[in-house]
Structure 1
Amino acid sequence: MPLSGLHVRQAVAYCVDVLGGVPDAQWDERAGGLEWTCWETLEHLADDLLTYALRFGLAEPFAVPRVPLRISSDRPDGPGNVIFGDREAGPGGLLTVVEACGGLLASVVDTSDATALAPHVFGASDPEGFAAMGIVETLVHTHDIAQGLGHFREPPRDLTEGVLARLFPDVSVVDSPWSTLLWATGRIETPDRPRRTSWRWYGAPRDGG
């Protein structure tokens, strides 16, 4: 299944639906197995979606290793971001930021040259690959946050199948696509597969070009 901006929007809509309405006081809880709070993790997700989109805002996406924005953190062990949510707007406001950043990525994916390549720490990728990366970040970080908030629902199966095929072609699906994605990204262990302590995805174009 080729991945498009529509799938990015579906993943972000799922995130907003799962996390919407959670009481403000819970957002400073730790997000699952991460060292970040639920609020920090959602800021990190928005930051990922935005910076993925910015890569294809350049006339020559591969000309620079990254868009040179200033990175900062609200505390020593917090995530380093280029954007942050307004605390006064609450979690609902931060979810709006995520939706906006996801919309930017979706639009960029659908309007960029499908053969364009941009750099990523795991290697060069095309717009579809960055769409898949944005979807994975959205699904697994929604899971991380929901673990901390006790408020989770499994994502759509077609999204998990699509990103597994695109980014983890060497990973065999065991039990379900969702549990396999959680294992592939180091979130869980299974009886026959120990938890991953490091992992990477394969973002190169489907045709290997």
Structure 2
Amino acid sequence: MTVTPADVRSAACLAVATLRRARDADWSVRAGALEWDCWETAEHLIDDLFSYAVQLASERTDTDVPFRYTQETPGSPCNAVRAERATGVDGLLLALESAAGLLHAVTATKPAEARAHHVFGVSDPEGFAAMGVVETLVHTYDLASGLGIDGWEPPADLCARTLHRLFPDAPVGPPPWPTLLWCTGRGELPGLPRPATWRWYGEPR
């Protein structure tokens, strides 16, 4: 049930292949139920993957690496990195692939005992890999919803490993992908109210 660096790359490859189907769509529409548009949401995902990589690379357990985070417009994500809009969706997806590759490389080369700060608890390379996977899976869900892409459902075993690592209190029994959507406030499970707030637990088990 271990989340591996290869899972980061796999999740990103699946996401990019899916999102390329909407390369000619209007990415200024809202990303599903989020307040951000699709371009902003993709940039937020890129920034997440980048931020996890540089944080783990630092092995600082007491604070975030002090990159400068800014908003382009009120209500938009606070990012340290952005994609060049003039390169279009192809450039945006290239930036996503690159950020995932960076996180893959850092998690693959750091020893298991490495630790770094995260707001949801000091974590290890597996934890940061799992965070990158869940961000990729659920934000691709948001993007697919906004862009009208049907059929986004990542592999059950990838979802199950992510749930095992980051969501120890996840319901047992329902399929992994609907459970991951429920755990991140995006889906319904029979007999359970949707969480009003949610978080993961990145601390090593």
TM-score normalized by the length of structure 2: 0.96
Structure 1: which 4+ aligned runs deviate by more than 4 Å?
Answer: none
The alignment of Structure 1 onto Structure 2 pairs a total of residues equal to: 204
- Quote the residue 1:104 is aligned against: 102
Aligned partner of 1:156 in structure 2 is 155
Deviates more, 1:191-200 or 1:119-128: 191-200
Post-superposition Cα deviations, 1:147-189, rounded to whole Å, max 9, x if no partner, equal 0011042111111011001001111234310000000000023
Aligned amino acid, residue 181 of structure 1: L
Q: Which runs of 5+ in 1 are unaligned?
A: none
Output the CA distance in 2 between the equivalents of 1:95 and 1:120.
Answer: 26
Q: Which amino acid aligns with 2:4?
A: S
Which shifted more, 23-32 or 90-99? 23-32
* Gapped regions of structure 2 (runs ≥ 5): none
The answer to whether residue 26 in structure 2 is matched with residue 26 in structure 1 is yes
Alignment equivalent of 1:137, drawn from 116, 131, 135: 135
What is the Cα deviation at residue 136 of structure 1?
0.2
Matched residues, percent identical?
52
Tell whether the 8 Å contact from 2:27 to 2:147 is kept in structure 1 after alignment: yes
The equivalent of 1:74 in structure 2 is 72
The match for 1:119 among 117, 132, 139 is 117
Root-mean-square deviation (Å): 1.2
Please tell me whether residue 37 in structure 1 is matched to residue 41 in structure 2. Answer: no
Within 5 Å, give how 1:3-18 maps onto structure 2.
3-18=3-18
State whether residues 56 and 128 of structure 2, in contact with CA within 8 Å, keep that contact through their aligned partners in structure 1: no
Paired with 1:56 and 1:67, the residues of 2 have a C-alpha distance of 9
- What does the per-residue CA deviation read over 1:101-129, in whole Å, with 9 as the maximum and x for residues that have no partner? 00000110010021111111111110100
Q: Which amino acid is the alignment partner of residue 20 of structure 1?
A: R
Give, as a single letter, the amino acid of the residue that structure 1 aligns with 2:26.
Q
Q: State the one-letter code of the partner of 1:170.
A: D
